[in-house]
Amino acid sequence: MSNAVRSVVAAALLGVVAQAHAQQAALDPAPVAAPAAASPPQQDIQTLDEVRALPPDQEQPLDLYRFKNPVSAQPSRFDKDWRPPPSVEQVSQGGGYLALGVYYVAGKVAKGLHTLTGAPD
């Protein structure tokens, strides 16, 4: 930007700030002297009784932002072979990704041997 444009923008900003400060000063009343402390405190002030929090009835808390699928699909023949991938926590409890790969390969080898030998289930 050129210096002239910067000067105009700075002047406009300064004018807006000055106007806002003047409006705020006009709205704020002058501080009022505190009333004399000679009057006794009021005794009819109502206070709350003891409040206790109860534990929730549900095991899982209600999540208001969860996705609610409007479509409920019936199980198909593909559902029996599909299983969701393990979470990171499940992988770490099972020995890590290396152990997971070893177990996967061992399972595939066992399944292949079972198919080759034609052994009954």
Give the tens place of pLDDT for each residue, 27-56: 656 556 555 556 666 778 888 888 888 876
| Per-residue buried b or exposed e for 13-32, using 16+ beta carbons within 10 Å of the residue's own CB | eeeeeeeeeeeeeeeeeeee
Tell me the per-residue pLDDT of 57-96, one tens digit each, with 9 for 90 and over.
767 777 788 888 889 888 888 877 788 888 889 888 888 8
Q: What is the structure's pLDDT at 35? A: 57
C-alpha to C-alpha distance for 101 and 98, rounded to whole angstroms: 5
Taking the whole predicted model, whether its pTM rises above 0.85 is answered as no
Q: Indicate the domain borders of the chain.
A: 88-117
d(CA 91, CA 100): 7
The residue length of the chain stands at 121
